[in-house]
């Protein structure tokens, strides 16, 4: 696998999925905006530089949960990228979250020790393209 164009690790934060009392389906639009702002702030605070990627990418999205936490159904796990994807667009890392910009999307879930809980995202060039500044 090639090196990512960009990656971010956000420790101790797992974005909400679709369902449940705090899920995206039940979330009020003001709360959703607040959560998207929180996601953007966490990306900024991660210390990773924010490039402007203007080419199709493959998104590798990984939720790392502790042993006592539940793994989500795959539709929920994939949907939990929504706030983070919107944050990457608002920060200018991605131009858009459309299929033209995100050519592939690969959600994963892993059970890890408590000190490794969090969210990781890697953006890779789709079809072997290089980073365009």
- Please report the pLDDT score of residue 29 as a whole number: 82
The CATH superfamily label for domain 6-128 reads Holliday junction resolvase RusA (3.30.1330.70)
Q: Which of 51, 54, 40, 52 is nearest to 10 (CA)?
A: 40
**104: confidence class by pLDDT, cuts 50, 70, 90:** very high
Q: Give dist(CA 25, CA 19) in Å, integer.
A: 6
Extents of the domains making up the chain: 6-128
pTM for the model: 0.87
- Please report the pLDDT score of residue 13 as a whole number: 94
- Please report the pLDDT score of residue 2 as a whole number: 85
Instruction: Give percent above pLDDT 90 in the chain.
Output: 72
Task: Find the DSSP H helices in 13-97.
Answer: 29-45, 74-79, 82-90
- Please report the pLDDT score of residue 109 as a whole number: 96
**131: confidence class by pLDDT, cuts 50, 70, 90:** very low
pLDDT in tens, 62-75: 999 998 778 999 99
Q: What are phi and psi of 18, to 5 degrees?
A: -75, -45
pLDDT in tens, 26-41: 777 887 888 889 999 9
- Greatest mean pLDDT among 11-20, 60-69, 101-110 lies in 101-110
CA atoms within 13 A on the CB side of 68: 1
């Amino acid at each position: 696998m090639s090196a990512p164009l960009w990656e971010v690790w956000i420790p101790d934060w797992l974005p909400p999925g679709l369902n449940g009392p705090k899920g995206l389906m039940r979330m009020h639009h003001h709360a959703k905006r607040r959560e998207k702002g929180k996601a953007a702030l966490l990306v900024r605070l991660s210390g990773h530089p924010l490039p402007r990627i203007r080419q199709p990418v493959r998104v590798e999205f990984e939720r790392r949960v502790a042993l006592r936490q539940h793994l989500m159904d795959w539709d929920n796990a994939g949907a939990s990228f929504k706030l983070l994807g919107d944050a990457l667009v608002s920060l200018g890392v991605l131009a858009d979250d459309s299929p033209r910009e995100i050519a592939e999307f690969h959600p994963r879930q892993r059970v890890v020790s408590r000190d490794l809980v969090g969210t990781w995202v890697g953006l890779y060039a789709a079809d072997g393209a290089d980073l365009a500044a």
